[in-house]
Structure 1
Amino acid sequence: MQQSRLWTRTFTLVCLCSFFVFMNFYTLATSLPIIVAKHWNGNQSHIGLAMTVFIVAALLFRPIVGSLAGVWSPRALILTSVIFFLAASLLYPAVNGLLILFVLRFLHGSSFGMASTATSAVAADLVPASRKGEGIGSFSLFTSLAMVIGPFVGLSVTGSGNPSLLFVMCGAFSVAALICAVLAGLPVAARKPAASGRAQRRKMTWRALIEPAAVPISLTGFFLAFAYSGITSFISVYADELGIASSASLFFVCFAALIVIPRPFVGKLFDRIGPNILVYPSVVVFAAGMLLLAFAHSVAVFLVSGAVIGLGYGILLPIFQTIAVQAAPAERSGLATSTYWLLLDTGFGLGSILLGMLAMHTKYSGVYLTSSAVVALTALFYYLLHHSADKRKTPTEAVKTVSHHP
């Protein structure tokens, strides 16, 4: 599926499909805690469970979709997952209690794991080998935009006190994702799997669901997601605790600005100079932003922390995904993508649980102080799991790592 240029019609529509899938996710992720608390009389543990059930379901289905990426056609892979995602999204207005909500969150999480993995795997396969950093960075920019616009929309709508309107909007995002998938002109033929891939599927070993080469950098991403989960899950209630609830949506506007501005340059720099020079400063910036957030006692500091966090996290996430894809053989790039998101989801889910438990015994400032320390440790894990191993490669091995991709 190699293209001579990056921004083809198919690649652009796959990016937009992913954008609407993540708009659905992030709109609900930041707004659902308020709805659970105010409309269904839930407590902090119920809020955490609503997110955890979703993430666990996504975890279960990501490896399955990753293993199908080399067997099913891109069109079948994306359309099937997005239709399932749409069906789950349309059921939210029928929820009338916490038990039904948790069941639906599992179904929705399953479909999200399928749709987000399918779009990521197909998009990575569409990017020319010489532009992997730029291409995956551009694709992830759409995810990052949804990461910002979704919470802004969700918190704004939730503030009106009408959760039904929020659910209708999320359904509309899912419809838009399906329209993009249908119009993308995706290939209807599957890539012929390598002989080794067929043998692994027959044996049903763990390698049929996980790409070992992508695990080290994905484990590093696990800690990023763990720390970031506190932003998505608790930023609205933290702003309320500080007495600046009206500024919660503006936090994501500042976050967005510092994700979008440097992204076009970061991908090109990655392709030219590699990841290491970019990763360590970005970890420092991300940790500093979390530290600022922990000690925010004014609107100004609260919003500046959002901008600083956006700069660090926005650079690190696509870099780690690019490394994961480049580490794997071409025919297993879909598995590499699903492995990466599998561990990110695990970090996000555990973060929602453990940081939520911490929030029950301390103020939310303690949550973000802990997150800052976790982010700082990411630099150490990056060095141990990726950088030091990469330095031990011979020049020939280093060339193969990049050159064997479509």
Structure 2
Amino acid sequence: MSERETLQRENTVRYPRPRLVSRSLALVFAATFSTLTGFFLLLSVVPMYAAAGGAGGVGAGVATGALMLTTVLAELALPRLLARFGYRRVFGTGLLLLGLPSLALPFSQGMAMITAVSLVRGLGFAVTVVATNALVAELVPAERRGEGLGLFGMVAGVPSVLALPLGVWLAGQVGYTPVFVAASVVSLAALAILPGLPRHVAHASSSSADRPFGIAAGLRSAALMRPTLAFAAAAMAAGILVTFLPDAVPGGGVAAAALFVQPAAATLTRWWAGRAGDRYGAGRLLPPAVVVAASGIALLFLVPDTAAVFAAMLLFGCGFGVVQNASIAVMFERAPASGYGTVSALWNVGYDGGMGVGGAAFGVAAAQTGYPAAFALTAAVMLLALPLTVTRRAGP
């Protein structure tokens, strides 16, 4: 055993690492799993419902667009609301906004009803994702934050892998109404967890250096915006894959399997990235992760070759999982405790905004160049974000 390993073992014995998962954090994980399961059950089902009602592809796009529009807008307002009203009130309100509206869908298949429900559910979804990310940063020991975020990423990733296809399958087997009711019940079940969550942010310091740090300050901070934009570039590619890969790859079975490989790989690597980030620094992981993710998208230049598609999904999934964890870990490192809600909001805006913009822009590009060239162009855009992964500033 080397001298360094001996020293590390002695330090571990003298100063054991703090416990990672407390009771409160376990409750946050449970609430996250419940709300995201309800969300992903309907993510594809509501557009299907709109299309089946006669609105076609345009109606399906409007339903998803309305959902993401209010999600992004609400995320920008949430840091102030969390600071003013606390986690329990805001999170409880978000659960009601996410869970109740879907119960109205069986009464009308018109676009007015579907759009209204999507707008309201977008508000609820924004609350749940921003609040839970901020709570994890609040509850995890600082020296194990990356690992905690990675574990949280695995919990949050499972619903996207399982509930998304399950909702589509159930709608085909038992109809839309049971899926709407099931999604509502699963989302609202998290209300039972609400009493166990902290009421307010518990700042570690009351000094002026830890004064409230809101969205305006976050948008002015290069130390926060650079990793946010780098992550948005990767999220852009994720949105493109979900939207266009089934059309780019003939044969529904290949596309479905490939879209399973990608989130599964991302979910697993988020946990690994957290442990590695705690040990070596999350900032060191971000540049190579962007390169790996971009390499996966570049490999799609060979579509519809089946082997290339699966290799691309594995590469992109691994890179994207590390980018997800490393980007938010770096942002939490650079923000004061009063800015955890702001970090969560900016990161989620990068995620949702990147997915939305990517889908729209790729559709225009693919119409002009075809899918292979459009995927290659997407990889080039991702690599343009590489300089954003390095910053000279240590904090906001």
**TM-score higher than 0.5 here?**
yes
**What is the 5 A alignment of 1:200-211?**
207=216
Query: Which residue does 1:224 correspond to in 2?
Result: 234
Cα shift readout 1:137-164 (whole Å, capped 9, x = no counterpart) = 2112222222322333234335548333
| Of 151, 161, 164, the match for 1:138 | 151
From 15, 19, 35, the counterpart of 1:5: 19
The correspondence of residues 5-404 of structure 1 with structure 2, limited to 5 A, is 5-43=19-57, 45-158=58-171, 160=173, 162-179=175-192, 181-182=193-194, 185-188=196-199, 191=202, 207=216, 212=221, 213-236=223-246, 238=247, 242-361=249-368, 363-382=370-389, 387-390=390-393
Do the aligned residues in 1 keep the contact of 2:268 with 2:321 (CA within 8 Å)? Answer: no
Residue 188 of structure 1: SS of its match in structure 2?
coil
Cα distance in 2 for residues equivalent to 1:166 and 1:365: 36
- In the alignment, is the contact (CA less than 8 A) between 1:295 and 1:365 conserved in 2? yes
Give the C-alpha shift of residue 276 in structure 1.
4.0
Task: Flag the 1:297–1:167 CA change in 2: closer, same or farther, 3 A.
Answer: same
Aligned pair in 2 of structure 1 residues 95, 299: CA closer, same or farther (>3 Å)? farther
C-alpha deviations, 1:374-395, integer Å up to 9, x for none?
222232332xxxx1324xxxxx
Residues 97-150 of structure 1 deviation map (CA, whole Å, 9 limit, x = unaligned): 223222221111111111111111112111111111111121122222223223
Taking every aligned residue pair, what percent have the same amino acid on both sides? 24
User: Counterpart in 1 of 2:10?
Assistant: none
Give yes or no for contact 2:240–2:358 (8 Å, CA) kept in 1: yes
| Structure 1 segments unaligned to the other structure (5+ residues) | 391-397
Q: 1:160 to 1:356 in 2, by over 3 A?
A: farther
Aligned residues of 2:76 and 2:349 also touching (Cα < 8 A):
yes
Change (3 A) 1:233 1:24: farther
CA-to-aligned-CA distance 1:51-74 (integer Å, 9 cap, x gap): 222222012111222223333333
d(CA) in 2 for partners of 1:369, 1:163: 38
In 1, the alpha carbon distance for the partners of 2:77 and 2:311 equals 40
1:395 aligned partner: none
What's the TM-score once normalised by structure 2's chain length? 0.83
CA distance in 1 between partners of 2:210 and 2:277 (Å): 33
Q: Deviations over 1:78-97 (max 9, x none)?
A: 22221221123333333412
One-letter amino acid of the counterpart of residue 19, structure 1:
F
Deviations 1:295-341 (A, max 9, x none): 33244443333222211111111111111111111122112211221
Letter in 2 for 1:83: L
TM-score, normalised to structure 1, is: 0.81
Distance 1:246 1:166, change over 3 A: farther
The CA RMSD measured in Å over matched residues stands at 3.2
Contact 2:273 2:325 in 1 (8 A): no
Q: Tell me how far apart the structure 2 counterparts of residues 147 and 271 of structure 1 sit (CA, whole Å).
A: 26
- Matched AA of 2:199: V
Q: Distance in 2 between matches of 1:304 and 1:161?
A: 35
Alpha-carbon distance, 1:364 to partner? 4.5
State the number of aligned residues: 378
Q: Distance in 1 between matches of 2:310 and 2:112?
A: 36
SS at 2:392's partner residue?
helix
What is the CA–CA distance in structure 2 between the aligned matches of 1:206 and 1:80, rounded to whole Å?
21
Distance in 2 separating the partners of 1:323 and 1:13: 25
Please report how far the alpha carbon of residue 206 of structure 1 lies from its aligned counterpart in structure 2 after TM superposition: 5.9
